[in-house]
Amino acid sequence: MNFESRKYVLIASVLFIAVVFLLRLFWIQVVDDKWKATAANMAERKITDYPARGFIYDRSERLLVANTPVYDLMAVPREVKAFDTVEFAKLISVSVEDLRIRLKDATSYSRYKPSVIEKQIPADQFAAISVHLHKYPGFYGQSRTLRTYPPRSAAHMLGYLSEVDARKVEQDPYYKAGDVIGVGGLEQFYEPVLRGRRGVRYVLVDVHNNIKGSFKEGIYDTLAVEGQDLFTGIDLDIQRLGEQLMVNKKGSIAAIDPRTGEILCLVSSPTYDPELLVGRVRNTNYGVLQRDPIKPLFDRALQAQYPPGSIFKIVQSLIALDEGVITPNTGFPCNKSLVGCHNHPGAGDIIHAIQYSCNPYFHQVFKRIVEQDKDKNRFKDAALGLGEWERRMHSFGLGQRPGIDLPAVKGGNIPGPAYYDRKYGKERWAFSTIYSVSIGQGEVLVAPLQMANLAAIFANKGWYYDPHVVRAVGHPDSLQTRYLEKHVTDVDPKWYDYIQEGMRRVVEEPGGTARQARIEGITVCGKTGTAENPHGKDHAVFVAFAPMDDPQIAIAVYVENSGFGGTWAAPIASLLIEQYLTDSIARPDLMKRMLEADLIAAEKNYVKPVKKPRRR
């Protein structure tokens, strides 16, 4: 075998193949520019796939929040060729100066990474733009979604979307500049659930922005994961009705299903159209709403804190009965030298005291709670009595932030010994200093949501679930287990029967303070309140539950600057109860009067009378 000759043959073959490849490369790179042009016309592009944000439904699975498609116009500076800026600016409806500034900012950011040139272009408008994009290399559209609100209702409760700020981008690696995030309401509280997880695709595009295929067969791509839907306990019918009834009024409505803690409606008035804070018009409209003197952005149902007024008497009654300082048959005269009161028959027992809402009666009740002669020093004795009272009040969820699935809710104030020690000094206060607390005035503050929860507690005779908006996540049957913990008040349930009967008489019997809340065929238990307002007409409040023997709704209505609770708050609450329980309204005259009332205009013309000092 001649190995030497074979060696030369092998060497020659290798050299021949090498020469062929070199000649081919020379031909491709120097002689024939077809391949050079093809390579120049291909570019790798990273496309972010934004997932559809989860929908939000009411208790009957009617849409409260949905999505609508929009497009961001993107540009990759290194791919942009010389073009007619005047024509392009006209095409996307921006000024030539703005277009040049945006392109300059995009180039400063990165020549290789895409930047947003125009945000949130509606789908129909982008359709007209997209047919011309082949003339503008380096520009392309990226789809995403914005929120839409089919009922145009419940703006405060739902929240809205806004671009993330630089601080959030630094704190959370998920977000990048230009992303949107939930602000306020359910959008903020359930942001991780609603947003889903975005995906990324790497594609090859030609000079005409046509996608030529995936990059490396998609090995670097990640799939987008859609956000989960929220199923709420909201009843859209009474939510809408509540908003209609509160037009031209300041205040709030909160209604709860006492059996579950699910919120049925949550109204803050004045309100606003949630579509005003969607997309490119959000910043402009937000500024207008923020400057409005009637403060439509302020969520009164969760963030306003008011003196509860006379609705506080039903809690005072329970604590006094359980403490043993009164019995169901204890009576006190209506001594107006102690505290002012309206004219009514004598209250010979706790039931009639609630029915007539007698102020001097509850002045004496609270005095017995605070002064129990547990210490010879009257200041120490008052601190002991008030401390026990404060502890029991907390068991009703008062003075504490509610565990609701919404951000920025206030917890009110239940003043205890520590509070008054800070205010007046230790052993420098007694019952005579704080007696206004007896009728829900003074330093006591509650949020409207807490008032509705209080009504739920009386409906349930001593227990409640944390109020919550969302009943299920992802699927209607996927109930949230965190809202299944039952809270029990620190009062013997046997006393609730007396209070319920008093509340029934408030609505159903002559001499009751809420006769306008009666509903034919439905027994309503309620309590009116009138909270003093040093700046104008007093505020009206009403809490109620119904039906008495099978409570299905507990409600609180607070109407600012409207006077007595039975005039406006009680009728509004009764109309909502009627709608919820019967799916209809059988009192058109009352409905008309509530809808047509303009209490905001009346407030402007009101002059508060000067009260003469009253002897204490």
Tell me the pLDDT tens digit for each residue of 498-516: 999 999 999 999 988 899 9
Q: Specify which residues 556 forms β-bridges with.
A: 254, 543
pLDDT (0 to 100) of residue 274: 94
Within 13 Å of residue 12, how many CA atoms lie on the same side as its CB? 6
Query: What is the model's pLDDT at position 312?
Result: 95
Q: What's the pLDDT at 169?
A: 86
Residue 40 has pLDDT above 50, yes or no: no
- The size of the chain, in residues, is 616
User: Which run of H or E residues covers position 20?
Assistant: helix 3-26
The pLDDT-based confidence of 165 (bands split at 50, 70, 90) is confident
Q: What is the mean pLDDT of residues 557-571?
A: 90
Please report which confidence band the pLDDT of residue 4 belongs to, taking 50, 70 and 90 as the band edges. Answer: low
The stretch 22-26 carries a mean pLDDT of 66
Structure tokens given for 429: 């206060």
- Each domain of the chain, given as residue ranges in start order, spans 45-77+145-232, 236-584+598-605
Q: How far is CA 182 from CA 136, 309, 468, in A?
A: 34, 36, 18
CA 85 to each of CA 81, 89, 95, 96, 98: distance values in angstroms, whole numbers, following the listed order: 11, 6, 9, 6, 11
Amino acid at position 543, single letter: V
**Residue 38: what pLDDT?**
42
Percent of the chain residues past pLDDT 70, beyond the cut: 88
Lowest mean pLDDT among 32-41, 81-90, 283-292, 378-387: 32-41
Position 493 scores a pLDDT of 96
Confidence of residue 26 (pLDDT cuts 50, 70, 90): low
Interval 406-412 mean pLDDT: 93
How many CB atoms are located within 10 Å of the residue 433 CB? 15
**pLDDT value of position 499:** 97
pLDDT bin (cut points 50, 70, 90) of residue 42 is very low
Give the DSSP H or E segment for 367: helix 359-370
State pTM to two decimals: 0.84
- What are the pLDDT digits (tens) for 167-190? 888 888 888 887 889 999 999 999
Q: Is the pLDDT of residue 41 over 50?
A: no
Q: What is the C-alpha separation between 616 and 363, in angstroms, rounded? A: 12
Q: Are the CB atoms for 363 and 339 separated by under 8 Å?
A: yes
Q: Is the pLDDT of residue 613 over 50?
A: no
Q: Which residue has the tokens 């003469």?
A: 612
Helices marked H in 461-568 — which ranges? 496-508
In one letter, which amino acid is 506? Answer: V
CA 574, CA 582: separation in Å to the nearest integer?
A: 12
> What pLDDT was estimated at residue 608?
62
- In this prediction, residue 124 carries a pLDDT of 87
Q: What is the pLDDT of residue 607?
A: 61
Which residues, at least 6 apart from 368, have a Cβ–Cβ distance to it below 8 Å?
320, 323, 325, 326
User: Which among 44, 77, 73, 74 is positioned nearest to 202, based on CA atoms?
Assistant: 44
Is residue 67 within 8 A of residue 146, CB to CB? The reply is yes
Nearest one of 143, 88, 75 to 115, comparing CA atoms:
75
- 409 vs 300: CA distance, rounded Å: 10
Q: What is the pLDDT of residue 207?
A: 54
Given a cut of 70, whether residue 30 has pLDDT beyond it is: no
CA–centroid distance for 550 within its chain = 29
In this predicted model, which residue has the larger pLDDT, 518 or 225?
A: 518
Cis-peptide, bond into residue 345, ω within 30° of zero: no
Tally of CB atoms within 10 A around 270: 20
**pLDDT value, residue 34:** 47
Q: What is the dihedral of CA 152, 154, 156, 157, to 10 degrees?
A: -130
Among 44-53, 448-457, 544-553, the least confident range:
44-53
Q: Which CATH architecture has domain 236-584+598-605?
A: 3-Layer(aba) Sandwich (3.40)
Instruction: Give the whole-angstrom CA distance, residue 161 versus residue 195.
Output: 11
Instruction: Judge whether residue 335 has pLDDT over 70.
Output: yes
Q: What mean pLDDT do residues 556-579 have?
A: 93
pLDDT for the residue numbered 444: 96
Does the pLDDT of residue 363 top 70, yes or no? yes
d(CA 416, CA 386): 6
pLDDT, tens digit (0-9, with 9 covering 90-100), for 83-132? 999 999 999 999 999 999 999 999 998 887 888 899 888 888 999 998 99
- Distances in Å between the alpha carbon of 504 and those of 522, 523, 547, 590? 11, 7, 10, 21
Q: Residue type for 533, please?
A: N
pLDDT in tens, 521-551: 999 999 999 887 777 788 899 999 999 999 9
> What is the rounded distance in angstroms from the CA atom of residue 413 to the CA atom of residue 447?
9
Confidence of residue 616 (pLDDT cuts 50, 70, 90): very low
Residue 582 CB neighbours (<10 A): 13
Whether the per-residue pLDDT at 39 is higher than 90: the answer is no
Task: Count the neighbouring beta carbons within 10 Å of the beta carbon of residue 142.
Answer: 15
Helix (H) or strand (E) holding 117: strand 115-122
Q: Which of 182, 169, 179, 71 lies closest to 125, judged by CA? A: 71
- For the structural domain made of 45-77+145-232, what CATH number should be given? 3.90.1310.10
Rounded mean pLDDT, 30-57: 64
pLDDT for 528 equals 94
Nearest of 102, 77, 79 to residue 92 by alpha carbon: 102
Question: Between these two residues, 22 and 495, which has the higher pLDDT value?
Answer: 495
pLDDT reading at 359 higher than 90: yes
Can you say how many angstroms the Cα of residue 511 is from the centroid of all Cα atoms in its chain? 39
Q: How far is CA 274 from CA 216, 283, 297, 405, 592, in A?
A: 44, 13, 11, 20, 26
Q: Report pLDDT for 14.
A: 66
pLDDT beyond 50 at 362? yes
- Condensed to tens digits (0 to 9), the pLDDT of residues 249-296 reads 999 999 999 999 999 999 999 999 999 998 878 889 999 999 999 999
Please state, rounded to an integer, the average pLDDT across all residues of the chain.
88
